[in-house]
Amino acid sequence: MEGVDYLADERKKTEFDVEEMKIVWAGSRHTFEVSDRMAKLVANDPVFRKDDRVMLARKDLFKNTLRKATYAWKRINELRLSEEEASKLRSFVDEPAFTDLHWGMFVPAIKGQGTDEQQKKWLPLAYKMQIIGCYAQTELGHGSNVQGLETTATFDPQTDEFVIHSPTLTSSKWWPGGLGKVSTHGVVYARLILDGQEHGIHGFIVQLRSLEDHRPLPGITVADIGMKFGSGAYNTMDNGLLRFDHVRIPRDQMLMRVSQVTRDGKIVQSDVPRQLVYGTMVYVRQTIVQDASIALSRAVCIATRYSAVRRQFGSSNGGPETQVIDYKTQQSRLFPLLASAYAFRFVGEWLKWLYTDVTQRLQANDFSTLPEAHACTAGLKSLTTSVTADGIEESRKLCGGHGYLASSGLPELFAVYVPACTYEGDNTVLMLQVARFLMKTVSQLGSGKPPVGTISYMGRIEQLMQCRCAVKKAGDWLNPNAVLEAFEARAARMSVSCAQKLSKFSNPEEGFAELSADLVEAAVAHCQLIVVSKFFEKLQQDIPGKGVKRQLEVLCGVYSLHLLHKHQGDFLATSYITPKQASLANDQLRELYSQVRPNAIALVDAFNYTDHYLGSILGCYDGNVYPKLYEAAWRDPLNDSVIPDGYEQYIRPLLKQQLRVAKL
Ligand SMILES: CCCCCCCCCC/C=C\CCCC(=O)SCCNC(=O)CCNC(=O)[C@H](O)C(C)(C)COP(=O)(O)OP(=O)(O)OC[C@H]1O[C@@H](n2cnc3c(N)ncnc32)[C@H](O)[C@@H]1OP(=O)(O)O
Ligand SMILES: Cc1cc2nc3c(=O)[nH]c(=O)nc-3n(C[C@H](O)[C@H](O)[C@H](O)COP(=O)(O)OP(=O)(O)OC[C@H]3O[C@@H](n4cnc5c(N)ncnc54)[C@H](O)[C@@H]3O)c2cc1C
């Protein structure tokens, strides 16, 4: 059976050039080649084996992660990998570790919020991993409300130092990844106090552990916060707690790009906005959007391949049963997720561009696009992680009973992914930020300042409030202008409706709180519009390869029309479409599913995932699922012996007791 491709017939049905689609998915030929090389490097190295992860107890699991992370760093240096290659390699190791926070947050925080001198001092140490850092913001009592953090940093002019202190139990830092057992340093967020006066939240570089023996420095209490959801999963990470008892650090360890504290204890604001203290979160939210397409595509790849292998019902005259992927219900659950994975890939690509653009502008003291960048990163992080977490769970259900096995890879993928809905900003809290941005935009309409970027459609508000959908037959829904106008009109009308209701409240904050559920819906509509419009923009690019663009057009149709179908209440309630037009959209959607069907396997092959990275028997490339499931069952430690441990102690006496009862 070895070497047989059970999905070969499926692959023969493909109507497009898969190799070219791989380049589109990766973003460029260069990125594809780097990813492919790094994925294979990891897959072929036994040190990076991960199939035993869910069986390991916490201490073994954690030590194993330390071993892998250290080995990865050794390979990165031996092979002299570039930053891009190293980051790819780490992502294919596919195990949350302290290095994620070191490279993903500690280094960016210093880069974004440190002065040139601070960067010169700290970054070389961090780049060589001579210090290991974490991002210590959240506390036991406050996460979302950053202004509510309680840790204090009080300037002592006598010694030219800050005194970092945890005044209450709820001020204990709680959650930072890498903090519990590994980090030697942290960027710690605390309330700045100068001469008895508070000056808001700022970041400070604080050494936590000795570089000699790794013991916590005097005044520091640090530990892991304990087991988290699922087996394996995020338990490879040492999320930590941290308390300070009047810990002293030199004045120059406050990150001073946004505000400086002078030798005599005065605060000087530079001309950059104070929101730049939140800059690391903007950066990470943008990377999380890119990661969403990866997590979702992994789940979809598993569910699609397995749906083509799995057969149930429909056999006549002893012929084969129906592949479950041929059931329209399966398609209507699976194909929108496949289309969403592609949609998130493209919006992630665009968001990376937006982030680079805003960073360059900030360097030139142009802060005008910062509010939009904040709204886009917050909103898209919220939208894509929510859909991805739900999509992984739906993929598990699409695999029936076998999806519940750890060897399907889906339970661990869900457990490791789902906190993305919470970390880096709770998804509801972030959508409320988008809503604030929308309400501000609506209130400024007509002020002479035309809305730009993702909000420019609001500049056509009068037209969008009045227009009616022109669709007459199902095929009209393939017209990008028809779809875009529908999403724009829905988003604009929902925002305006909220703004009108808000204007009736004498206290705007009270109104905002009262209407917050409606506001979140308006923000979701706006974010979905962004994703749809970026998909259409992608289709405007030159996309080579036989049939590739055509497939992407089909997926774009699936993405937008499934949203239109799912949220038809919004489109109907805002009176843009009629019930008949909603029904035509659904007819067109069904037709598009038929076009996806023959290409489904090739569309997931284009993700170019190795079997190692997928970590799923159900999703393996050759589709040889059943023998692999059978063999994996025998590898479970419970099957090491025929008679289980505990038989003598529990089962035997129980059976004997039943026997005695039966005899009576
Ligand atoms: C290549 C390598 C890739 C590796 C990737 C690494 C990824 C690693 C992943 C690892 C996994 C997990 C890591 C998780 C880490 C964390 O979770 S860190 C902690 C994150 N915490 C949060 O996100 C907290 C969420 N809360 C907030 O962001 C804010 O407090 C909130 C947005 C809710 C604002 O609260 P308010 O009190 O209302 O706001 P103010 O502070 O008063 O500010 C109001 C004005 O500021 C604007 N604003 C807010 N945030 C930002 C921002 N980030 N950027 C720009 N502007 C911002 C806001 O719009 C207001 O503006 P206005 O006054 O209206 O004009
Ligand atoms: C796995 C993981 C890793 C993490 N890593 C880090 C890290 O490295 N560093 C770090 O500093 N932090 C980290 N965090 C913490 C994380 O950033 C916070 O948990 C997150 O920001 C949410 O804050 P919270 O826990 O205070 O939630 P809460 O704000 O308490 O949320 C509880 C509920 O209240 C709702 N809610 C809160 N405020 C509002 C509001 N204004 N309006 C309406 N509803 C509201 C929320 O929607 C939610 O339903 C991590 C968390 C997790 C789970």
CA of 278, nearest ligand number: 1
Q: Are residues 310 and 445 located together in one domain of the fold?
A: yes
Q: Are residues 240 and 288 located together in one domain of the fold?
A: no
* CA distance linking residue 179 with residue 188, whole number of Å: 11
Nearest CA to ligand 1 atom 54: 374
Q: pLDDT tens across 67-106, in order?
A: 999 999 999 999 999 999 999 999 999 999 999 999 999 9
Stretch among 300-309, 443-452, 652-661 having the lowest mean pLDDT: 652-661
Kindly report the CATH number assigned to the domain that includes residue 387.
1.20.140.10
Among 606, 627, 623, 551, CA closest to 302: 623
* CA distance linking residue 307 with residue 324, whole number of Å: 5
Q: What is the mean pLDDT of the chain?
A: 96
Q: Are residues 325 and 189 located together in one domain of the fold?
A: no
Q: Best mutation site among 91, 101, 146 for ligand 1, i.e. most ligand atoms within 8 A of its Cβ?
A: 146
Amino acid at 542: D
Q: Are residues 183 and 322 located together in one domain of the fold?
A: no
Which of 372, 393, 394, 424 is flagged as catalytic? Answer: 424
Q: How many helices (H) and strands (E) would you count in the chain? A: 24, 11
Q: Best mutation site among 179, 282, 422 for ligand 2, i.e. most ligand atoms within 8 A of its Cβ?
A: 422
Give the residue carrying structure tokens 């031996």.
78
Q: Determine if ligand 2 sits within 6 Å of the CB of residue 514.
A: no
Q: Are residues 219 and 310 located together in one domain of the fold?
A: no
Q: Are residues 184 and 291 located together in one domain of the fold?
A: no
Give one DSSP letter per residue of 408-420, joined into a string.
GSHHHHHHHHGGG
User: Are the CB atoms for 426 and 144 separated by under 8 Å?
Assistant: yes
Residue that finishes a domain, picked among 226, 252, 270: 270
Q: Are residues 469 and 389 located together in one domain of the fold?
A: yes
pLDDT band at 253 (very low <50, low <70, confident <90, very high): very high
* CA distance linking residue 350 with residue 355, whole number of Å: 9
Q: How far is the CA of 660 from the centre of ligand 2 (A)?
A: 57
Per-residue pLDDT at 659: 67
Residue 473 has pLDDT above 80, yes or no: yes
Tally of domains in the chain: 2
User: Which phi and psi angles does 585 have, rounded to 5°?
Assistant: -60, -40
Q: Are residues 193 and 306 located together in one domain of the fold?
A: no
Nearest CA to ligand 1 atom 2: 104
- Residue 313 counted as domain residue: yes
User: Which phi and psi angles does 475 have, rounded to 5°?
Assistant: -60, -20
User: Which ligand 2 atom is the nearest neighbour of the CA of 134?
Assistant: 8
pLDDT band at 144 (very low <50, low <70, confident <90, very high): very high
Q: Is 198 left (phi over 0), alpha (psi -120 to 50) or beta?
A: beta
Q: How far is the CA of 426 from the centre of ligand 2 (A)?
A: 5
User: Which ligand 1 atom is the nearest neighbour of the CA of 426?
Assistant: 25
Residue that finishes a domain, picked among 270, 302, 318: 270
177 marked as part of a ligand binding site:
yes
Q: Determine if ligand 2 sits within 6 Å of the CB of residue 106.
A: no
Catalogue the long-range contacts made by 363-372 (C-beta closer than 8 Å, 24 or more residues apart).
Answer: 365/271, 365/272, 367/272, 367/273, 369/453, 370/273, 370/275, 370/276, 371/437, 371/440, 372/437, 372/452, 372/453, 372/454, 372/455
Q: Determine if ligand 2 sits within 6 Å of the CB of residue 135.
A: yes
Per-residue pLDDT at 1: 44
Containing structural domain, residue 591: 277-640
Structure tokens given for 189: 């967020």
Per-residue pLDDT at 620: 98
Give the residue carrying structure tokens 């990891």.
42
Give the residue carrying structure tokens 């000699």.
212
Q: Determine if ligand 2 sits within 6 Å of the CB of residue 280.
A: no
Give the residue carrying structure tokens 């209407």.
515
Q: pLDDT tens across 550-609, in order?
A: 999 999 999 999 999 999 999 999 999 999 999 999 999 999 999 999 999 999 999 999
Among 422, 166, 154, 168, CA closest to 288: 422
Q: How far is the CA of 220 from the centre of ligand 1 (A)?
A: 27
List Cβ neighbours of 390 (8 Å cut-off, separation of 6 or more).
none
**Cα distances (Å, whole numbers) of residue 646 to 461, 635, 639, 658:** 71, 20, 14, 18
Q: pLDDT tens across 286-341, in order?
A: 999 999 999 999 999 999 999 999 999 998 888 899 999 999 999 999 999 999 99
Structure tokens given for 370: 């910062």
* E-state strands within 535-580: none
Told to judge if 424 belongs to the known catalytic residues of this protein, a careful annotator would answer: yes
- Bridge partners (DSSP) of residue 221 are 243
pLDDT band at 270 (very low <50, low <70, confident <90, very high): confident
Catalogue the long-range contacts made by 364-369 (C-beta closer than 8 Å, 24 or more residues apart).
Answer: 365/271, 365/272, 367/272, 367/273, 369/453
Using a 10 angstrom Cβ sphere, with 0-12 exposed, 13-18 middle and 19 or more buried, the burial of residue 234 is buried
Q: Determine if ligand 2 sits within 6 Å of the CB of residue 421.
A: no
Q: Are residues 511 and 588 located together in one domain of the fold?
A: yes
Count of Cβ atoms closer than 10 Å to residue 511 Cβ: 18
Q: Which amino acids bring their CB within 6 angstroms of ligand 1?
A: 87, 100-101, 103-104, 135, 137-138, 143-144, 146-147, 177, 275, 278, 281-282, 284, 287, 370-371, 374, 423-425, 429, 433, 436
CA of 444, nearest ligand number: 1
The pTM is what?
Answer: 0.97
Structure tokens given for 117: 């001198």
Amino acid at 554: V
User: Are the CB atoms for 591 and 474 separated by under 8 Å?
Assistant: yes
Q: Best mutation site among 87, 228, 424 for ligand 1, i.e. most ligand atoms within 8 A of its Cβ?
A: 424
Q: Are residues 239 and 369 located together in one domain of the fold?
A: no
Amino acid at 124: P
Helices (H), 445-515: 461-466, 480-502, 508-514
Q: Are residues 518 and 430 located together in one domain of the fold?
A: yes
Residue 2 has pLDDT above 60, yes or no: no
547 marked as part of a ligand binding site:
no
- Residue 347 counted as domain residue: yes
Residue that finishes a domain, picked among 270, 290, 317: 270
* CA distance linking residue 612 with residue 40, whole number of Å: 9
ipTM, 2 dp:
0.97
User: Which ligand 2 atom is the nearest neighbour of the CA of 137?
Assistant: 11
Q: Are residues 281 and 167 located together in one domain of the fold?
A: no
